[in-house]
Structure formats: C-alpha cells, structure tokens
Amino acid sequence: MNYLSTRGHPDRKRFCEILLEGLAPDGGLYLPERYPQVHTPTLAKWRDLPYAELAFEILSLYIDDIPPADLKAICAKTYTPEVFGSEEIVPLRELEDGVYLEALSNGPTLAFKDMAMQLLGNLFEYELARRGAELNILGATSGDTGSAAEYAMRGKKGVRVFMTSPDGRMSPFQQAQMFSLQDENIHNIAITGVFDDCQDIVKAVSNDLGFKRKYRIGTVNSINWARLLAQVVYYFAGYFQATGGNDKPVSFTVPSGNFGNVCAGHVARMMGLPIHTLVVATNENDVLDEFFRTGIYRVRVAADTHETSSPSMDISKASNFERFVFDLVGRDAAKLRSLFVDDLGSQARFDLSGEPAFKQVAERFGFKSSRSTHADRLATIRDTEKRFATLVDPHTADGLKAAREHLTPGVPMVVLETALPIKFAATLVEALGHEPARPARFEGIEALPKRVVKLPADVEAVKAYIAQNCD
C-alpha cells in the first residue's frame, strides 16, 4: 500500500515512512492511494475475532512494510484486557431501544485517545529500534492528548516526550494523571501562559529546522495516519457487537473536534463496512456542524473559539477535515488546493453550498451533524443518570443528544463514549450534585509526587530544556 498527499505531491510513501512524520512535504495530509475493500465473506470471518486479531487483519491491509508476525505481536501486546479493562476491549451496551454506547475509554488515561496512542507507542518503539534511531516528541496539551501520549510512550526505548501544558489550567485530575508519571523519558513542562502559548512554542521549535533535525523532534498530533488507522478498528468491533450475527447497517455518532475519530468512521465506511449514517456531534464550537448543514467551512479566530464544558472538542478548525474533503471532491488535488490553500489562505473560509459535491455529503457519504450547548450537556447527563442509572461524560453527552436527532427506525445507533465522567468531575457535579465514581487505580492520585518543571512562555527556554535533557 502506498500513501499520497491530499495536495498532490508526486511522491508516494510506505506506511513506516509516514509513521514518524506529520504533514506531507506540500502541507497536505497522507491518505492511502485507495481504500481496501472488505466484502461480506470477510466480515463474516472477522465477526468473532478477538479485538487484537481484528486489529491485525485491518492494519495488515494498510501496512506492508512490517513483517506480519511482527505486526501481529504488536497488536497482541497493545490490545490486552490488562490495559483496556475487559476481554472485549471496546464493550457495547444498550442504553435504550436501539441506542448503544461503545466504551472506548477504559484505557490508561480514561479517554478514547488511548485506543490509538497505545498502538502508536508500540509502533514507534518497533520502528525506531529497527532504524537504530531516536525521537523526541514535543507536544502541547490542555488535557487528553498529552496524557494519552505520555502513557503510551512511558518507558519506551528510543522515545522521549516533552509535553507542554498551560500552568494551572488543566483539571486537578488531568494534572495528576500526567505529573505523577515518574518515568525518566517523560518530561512535563508547565508553561506560565495559556494553551495557545504552548502551541506557539511547539510551532516555533518545529519551524527551527536546524534544531528540529539536531534533536530529532517529532509529534504525535491527530493528523498522524497511524492514529487514524488504529481508530478504524473499533468501528468494525462496534458494528459486529451491534448486529450480532446479521449484516444490517448500523449508524455511529461521534463527539468531534479535530475530525480524527469520525474520519476513521468514514474510512471504515469507504472500506465497505455497512455504516448507514455518521453523525458528527459538536459543542458550541460548531465549525463542523455549520459545514454539514450549510456547505460553508469557516475557520474561527481565537476570540470566537469558546471554552466549553466539553473542552476536548473546543477547536477553531478541524485538522483532519481535509482528508474527508479530498474524497468528497473526487480526490481532485487541484480542487482540494483551491479550497484549503487559496480560499482558506485568503478568506479563512470556503463555500461548497452551490456545488454538486455538497449534496453527496449526506447522500453518498452518509454524514449528518448536530450541535449542543452547555445546558444540553447538563440535561443529557441528568436524564441519562435518571433513566438508565448511567453516568456519561460531557463529550459523550454531546454525542447522545446528537444521536437522538438522527435515529433511523430499525438501524442501531452506536454512540462512541470518548471519555469517562471522572475526567470532567466538575461538570458532573454541576449536573448531578455529586462526584462520579473513580476507578480504584486513580484513588488519591492528586496526592502523588509530581514530576514537572515550570518554564516561562519563551521558546528559547523550552529549547534549552530539551537540549539539556537529550544527551
């Protein structure tokens, strides 16, 4: 399998070449040249496979530069009941007639990002050892991504993590999750500033090509193809559990920010998984909902990006959206460039409302969308506790509300549970008046010793810290 850039660069690459890379050289995103097709007999064969073996089968269709036995071992090592809490790895439960929750948040950091990041950690360690190379991952986080990356890379040979976060601005639970890690290869850097300062520092360091090369700086952000690919697997696993023996279609609702998670659903659908509808659920930061309703994609400025109670969906633009639009415009790279380079570059928006392609968004690609507010989240959290004795986190609540707006009679609706409520305890308390239960292994983590350095919002200070800690 070869990979191309959405922006038309002539080079083709193999999986392990793009594994450790970010954007393509022309600023585009990597996609496979074609989507491998999965037909009914294959689905039947895969139906009863344990999750790790299902992952191996799907990944094998996209990865031909890792020997199969090695890839199988990597999947087996990644998706274990010890790490993900159950034999099913992503157990499905029925909430009400035809509406299901797929649990993706029982990994080490209690958010779905573990599903991909745990695999990435093992793939990185494997590939770096094979090359005799090292990698220093530099990132900025306001919560879920940073902790998922740290728990995936802790103790891995050849990898160090330098994770910046805004000092004092993460929830105490999230801080404790990250800062209590004592592994030598994990470096927490609390920046006296806001999340944007952290992101600016990461950008500035990555733009210093001399420094980047000398210190082998890399990232693990959501545009990484391997992360997206790992997420394709749980759409198949959710489908098998929701259909229990027949091949009827299933719909999915996905709490969305950077469009990574739901883009994996799009890939699964393009492979032939019988997905009826893909519902994109957003919060008040409704860049995506606006596009799916109107055909206009309008990037927001910082001042128009709201801090909400589903913070992992607070985005000004959706970094993976370009992948879907590439398929939507018939994989026409020139057209894609006119939208993402010319239109977004000059006006921070593009408009497909008058074009035939926009009709296909729903008709051919199955997308729908909804938007929620803080009041909706509180109401959904309360209602879900009252009627089903189940607690959901604010992101999953955005999903549940959206799902109910797009039900199709006779088609099971699977809502992806993207985090556990304990991560967002303050909002649960606001909705319910009590704290959610805490898994035993997180009891008292706020009191553990913390490993973190505090640095000013200054690029040179961060560079100096990295240089000191890479010998």
Ligand X SMILES: *Cc1c(COP(=O)(O)O)cnc(C)c1O
Q: Does residue 418 bind ligand X (CB under 6 A)?
A: yes
On whether the CB atoms of residues 27 and 2 are closer than 8 A, the answer is: no
Helix pair angle (374-388, 394-404), 10° resolution: 80
In angstroms, the CA 35 to CA 436 distance is 41
Q: Which of 177, 164, 234 is nearest to 466 (CA)?
A: 164
Beta bridge partners of 3: 13, 32
Segment interacting with ligand X, rule: CB under 6 A, options 6-14, 54-62, 134-142, 249-257: 249-257
**Interaction between residue 436 and ligand X (CB under 6 A):** no
Q: Which is closer to ligand X, CB of 126 or CB of 259?
A: 259
User: Does the protein bind ligand X through residue 312 (CB under 6 A)?
Assistant: yes
Task: Kindly tell me which of 238 and 255 has the beta carbon lying closer to ligand X.
Answer: 255
- Binders in 337-396 for ligand X, by CB under 6 A: 395
Residue 99: beta bridge partners? 96, 413
Contact segment (CB under 6 A) with ligand X among 183-191, 251-259, 298-306, 362-370 equals 251-259
The catalytic position among 13, 72, 113, 401 is 113
Q: For ligand X, how many residues bind (rule: CB under 6 A)?
A: 16
Q: List the one residue from 222, 241, 251, 380 that touches ligand X (CB under 6 A).
A: 222
With 0-12 / 13-18 / 19 or more C-beta atoms within 10 angstroms meaning exposed / middle / buried, residue 16 is: middle
Residue 322 makes contact with ligand X by CB under 6 A:
no
Beta carbon of residue 391, minimum distance to ligand X (angstroms, whole number): 14
Considering only residues 252 through 271, tell me which ones interact with ligand X, judged by CB under 6 A.
255-261
**Which CB, 175 or 312, lies closer to ligand X?**
312
- Strands 453-456 and 349-351, how do they pair? unpaired
Q: From the list 163, 419, 455, 466, which residue makes contact with ligand X (rule: CB under 6 A)? A: 419
Q: Which is nearer to ligand X, 66 or 328 (CB)?
A: 328
Phi, psi at residue 392, to the nearest 5°?
-120, 150
Element (H, E) at 455: strand 453-456
Q: Which of 313, 378, 400, 466 binds ligand X (CB under 6 A)?
A: 313
What DSSP letter does each residue of 135-199 carry, written as one string?
A: EEEEEE-SSHHHHHHHHHHTT-TTEEEEEEEETT-S-HHHHHHHHT---TTEEEEEEES-HHHHH
Cα distance between residue 224 and residue 19, in whole Å? 7
In the bound state with ligand X, the residue whose beta carbon lies nearer, of 185 and 396, is 396
Residue closer to ligand X (CB basis): 142 or 185: 142
Site track for ligand X across 124-163, x = CB under 6 A = --------------------x-------------------
- For the CB of residue 174, give the shortest distance to ligand X in the complex, in Å: 11
Strands 99-103 and 159-166: unpaired
Closer residue to ligand X, CB minimum distance, 337 or 401:
401
Nearest 5°: the CA angle 88, 90, 95 is 110
Q: Are the C-beta atoms of 144 and 111 separated by less than 8 Å?
A: yes
Smallest distance from ligand X to CB 256, Å: 4
224 binds ligand X (CB under 6 A): no
Q: What's the min distance (Å) between Cβ of 313 and ligand X?
A: 5
Binding ligand X (rule: CB under 6 A), the pick from 113, 156, 371, 406 is: 113
d(CA 392, CA 433): 14
Active site residue 157: no
Residues of this chain that bind ligand X (CB under 6 A)? 111, 113, 144, 222, 255-261, 312-313, 395, 418-419
Catalytic positions are 113
